[in-house]
């Protein structure tokens, strides 16, 4: 079966400090921080907010060599990536590769929430860092 994207799973937003960013999401937007979790593989702390099944994922670097630290240095805080839930993650990656898109992750790795994730290279995606994740829907 042809792999498909099911929904936008989350938007990743780079912040210098999760604690400083949370009041905007909670007090102004009225969202609730569900949890804060460290993702060692990406050297980031994450905070999650649910909005109708689509999440906002705040990303704070835990070390200067985190990819998010480099993003903050060059671009400042803001939207970092868009994550799509795929029906079949390995097949979706293979399909992207077949269409000529460079993969940052050839093999899915461990992301937050015990999900498998993989990134496509923004050079091939119109400048939008794109993440595919397993949707857990099969």
Measure the CA–CA gap between 15 and 12, rounded to whole angstroms.
10
Cβ-based nearer residue to Co ion, 88 or 131: 131
**Taking contact as CB under 5 A, which single stretch among the options 16-24, 28-36, 79-87, 93-101 is the one that binds Co ion?**
79-87
- For residues 6 to 25, the per-residue mask of contacts with Co ion, x marking binding by CB under 5 A and - elsewhere, is ------x-------------
* Closest C-alpha among 41, 129, 130, 37 to residue 86: 130
Cβ-based nearer residue to Co ion, 22 or 83: 83
Number of continuous H segments (helices) and E segments (strands) in the chain = 3, 8
Q: Contact with Co ion (CB under 5 A): which of 69, 72, 83, 89?
A: 83
Question: Could you say whether residue 108 binds Co ion (CB under 5 A)?
Answer: no
In terms of C-beta density within 10 A (0-12 exposed, 13-18 middle, 19 or more buried), how is residue 119 classed? Answer: buried
Interface residues with Co ion (CB under 5 A)?
12, 83, 131
């Amino acid at each position: 079966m042809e792999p498909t994207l099911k929904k936008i799973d989350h938007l990743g937003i780079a912040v210098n400090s999760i604690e400083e960013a949370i009041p905007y999401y909670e007090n102004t937007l009225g969202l609730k921080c569900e949890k804060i979790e460290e993702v060692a593989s990406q050297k980031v702390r994450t905070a999650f907010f649910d909005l109708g099944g689509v999440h906002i994922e705040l990303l704070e670097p835990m070390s200067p060599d985190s990819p998010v630290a480099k993003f903050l240095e060059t671009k400042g805080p803001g939207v970092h990536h868009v994550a799509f839930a795929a029906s079949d993650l390995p097949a979706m990656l293979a399909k992207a590769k077949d269409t000529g898109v460079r993969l940052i992750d050839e093999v899915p790795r461990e992301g937050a929430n015990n999900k498998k994730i993989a990134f496509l290279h923004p050079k091939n995606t119109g400048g939008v860092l794109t993440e595919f994740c397993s949707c857990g829907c099969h």
